Amino acid sequence: MDISSPAVLSLEDVTFRRNGKEILHEVSFEIGRGEHWVMLGANGAGKSTILGFCGAMVHPTTGTVKVLGHQLGKVELQALRPHIGHVDPRHRVRPMMTTTEVVLTGITGTVLLPMRWTPSQADLARAADLIGQLGLSRIAGDRWQTLSQGERGRALIARALIAEPALMLFDEPTTGLDVAAREQLLETIDLLAETHPGLTSVLVTHHLEELPTTTTHALLLADGRVVTAGPADEVLTSSNVSRTFDYPIEVEFRDGRWTARTSRRGS
C-alpha cells in the first residue's frame, strides 16, 4: 500500500452523527508528514471521534476523510491500520505477559501472542532495540503486573512503534501518572522526534501541561466544531484556549512547555 502522501490526515467538511445526534459539524483541517499535533477540548468536544478517523476506525457521516492518502470508504481498512500506531493507557494486557511479549503483540496487532505465531530473530532484535531506546531493558522479562504505570506507558509506545507506523496516535497517554512518571513519558515522546524523524503524531489531552516540547501544531475543539487549528505557537493563546473551554484561562509558554491557569482572581 502506498502511504507516501505528504498529507497524513485530511478532513474536509466532515460531519458525524450517532443515534440521530450530530457530534461533529463541518470539521476541516490537514496534518502534514512529520508534524506533531495535539487535540485539545473539553469532554464531549469531539476529540475521540476525530481520533477514530485517524485510526481508520470510524467513517464520517458526510464529508471526506483521508488517512495516509487513502479515503475512508474507498480503502480496505485492514490494509491501512498496520501503518497506524495507537498508544492508549486503557489497552488490555494480560498481567502475566512480559514487557517483551507485550511489545511483540504490536507486530500481530493482538492482545495476546497468537498460538501458532513465532517471532523471528529480526522481530526479537527489533523489540529489544526499542525496549532499550525507551529505557526498559532491565524490565524486559518482567511481568506486566509488576510494572509501574510509567513503565507500562513506555512499553505501550514500544508496542506501537515495532510495526514501524507512519502515524502515531496518543490517546491521553499520561492518564493515571504521577508528575514524575508523566514527565518521563513526555520525554520519551519527545525522543521519538530524534529516533523516528519521519513519524507523524496526534496526541489527545485535556491539559496543556501534558504537551510534549516537540508539539508543532494544535487543534482546538468545542462542541464538535474547530475553534482554530495551525502552528502551536499561534493557536495556543489565552484567547483561543478560553474560547475552547468557555472559561477565562491564562496560557503561558516557557522553555518549550505550556501551562494554563484561570485568569479570575478570587477575593
Please state the domain extents for the chain: 7-90+166-262
Confidence (pLDDT) at 264: 66
Asked if residue 265 has pLDDT above 80, the reply is no
Residue range 7-29, pLDDT digits in tens: 999 999 999 999 889 999 999 99
Given a contact cutoff of 8 angstroms between Cβ atoms, the answer to whether 128 and 140 are in contact is yes
- Can you give the pTM of this predicted structure? 0.93
**7-90+166-262: what CATH class?**
alpha beta
Confidence (pLDDT) at 267: 41
Q: What average pLDDT does the structure give for the chain?
A: 93
- Of 107-111, 120-124, 151-155, which gets the smallest average pLDDT? 107-111
Residue range 167-189, pLDDT digits in tens: 999 999 998 899 999 999 999 99
Asked if residue 136 has pLDDT above 70, the reply is yes
